[in-house]
A and B are shown apart, each in its own frame.
Chain A
């Protein structure tokens, strides 16, 4: 997962506390493996030092975390850049792709555009691997095959997700309610 981009995406609709962000990240982007609070705070600190988020308010109350962060113009630009630009196609992209697609769905963006640009990048890489496989020694050829099958699997998942997007949109609404 690209936790920085997940956090930026979650801040699009309005400022949030680190505490909420942690639960939203777990819920939407890391349902299988919750992130540590420390990781969220470290991410916010990094984003703040790069000017992508800014401290929005510090509430004087009890509780673990009363600092609220807001996305900046730079942060919005970075998010759009990351969403629009295809990832470098290598196997094991799943986590970053997953983050991208969930963010696109949550924020009402055109998922098919993401699918098309990822597919284009994937196929360009797959053409290289197909050519490489013809000329390479056997072990490299086998690795190329391995990579080809994994990249294909990414695309199949993306296409399935794009085909289901209306359904997903109805069932995936951004909310902090009903988390445990």
Chain B
């Protein structure tokens, strides 16, 4: 079989993209646990970067610091050249709504809202009118293969369907960066693949940047490169 698969059809090398998210010497501790012990990362516009590493190594903490959910104890985070780690809670939460999209392992949709209302929610929070928000939200359903589910509630959808709704919700505001923490962790292989295909397609068409934490190599293979976190540090040969 090796011979059939010998030729790579597309060059995997890409020109280094312009940096969009830059973190230097990030440190974060929780009580006596040093979750991050000095992490430097530079993520380029339009890149998909996989964050890998053992359980408890600091992947989610890193993601949360990059996304302005947590404030690092030391170090800096810049988005498009602007410090975001020093912003106050109100400003960070505004920034998260306007510039970032999030997908977590268990969709974290609002159970009382329909799929459509869930997808429209970030736009409503951003001050878009209800009718506009729902119209924009509805546009995502066909391309994500969830057409017809607009009026279902999360409890009445499968895990894979909910996860696609969560992807739509993450993408609806046209975010600069999508942060995903184990987005396929609760899905079977096929549903997981579909979620990753959707994210990659969105990136390819809109220069969105994706940072995805995963322990699955097949998921990481959708990324342009991987970062390995071990004991709160970037590990190994791949820190490029």
> Which residues of A line the B interface, CB within 8 A?
90-91, 112-113, 116-117, 119-120, 122-124, 126-132, 135-136, 140, 143-144, 146-149, 151-152, 155-156, 159, 162-163
Residues from chain A with Cβ under 8 Å of B52 in the complex: 119
In addition to A127-B222, A143-B5, A148-B218, 9 A-B residue pairs with Cβ atoms within 8 Å of each other are A116-B235, A119-B228, A126-B217, A126-B220, A130-B221, A131-B10, A144-B5, A149-B218, A152-B217
Q: Report the bound CA distance from A148 to B2 in whole Å.
A: 12
| A159, chain B: closest CB distance, angstroms | 7
Q: Assuming A123-B221, A131-B12, A136-B9, is B226 touching A113 (CB within 8 A)?
A: no
| B37, chain A: closest CB distance, angstroms | 16
Q: Would you list which residues of chain B between 206 and 240 have a CB under 8 Å from chain A? A: 216-218, 220-224, 226, 228, 230, 235-238
Q: Interface of chain B, helix or strand or loop or mixed?
A: loop
Check: B30 CB closer than 8 A to any chain A CB. no
Chain A to chain B contacts (Cβ below 8 Å), 23 pairs: A90-B2, A112-B235, A117-B237, A119-B226, A119-B238, A120-B236, A123-B217, A126-B218, A126-B221, A127-B221, A128-B12, A129-B221, A130-B221, A130-B222, A131-B8, A131-B9, A131-B10, A132-B9, A143-B4, A144-B5, A152-B216, A155-B217, A163-B54
Check: B1 CB closer than 8 A to any chain A CB. yes
Residues from chain B with Cβ under 8 Å of A90 in the complex: 2
Q: Assuming A132-B9, A143-B4, is B221 touching A148 (CB within 8 A)?
A: yes
Q: Which chain A residue shows the least CB distance to B55?
A: A163
Q: Which chain B residue shows the least CB distance to A121?
A: B237
Q: Report the bound CA distance from A18 to B228 in whole Å.
A: 41
For this complex, into which size category does the number of interface residues on chain B fall? Answer: 20 to 34
Q: Report the bound CA distance from A148 to B193 in whole Å.
A: 12
Q: What are the nearest 4 A-B pairs in CB distance? A: A116-B236, A126-B221, A128-B8, A152-B217
Residues from chain B with Cβ under 8 Å of A149 in the complex: 218
Q: Assuming A131-B10, A136-B9, is B1 touching A146 (CB within 8 A)?
A: yes
Q: Which chain A residue shows the least CB distance to B236?
A: A116
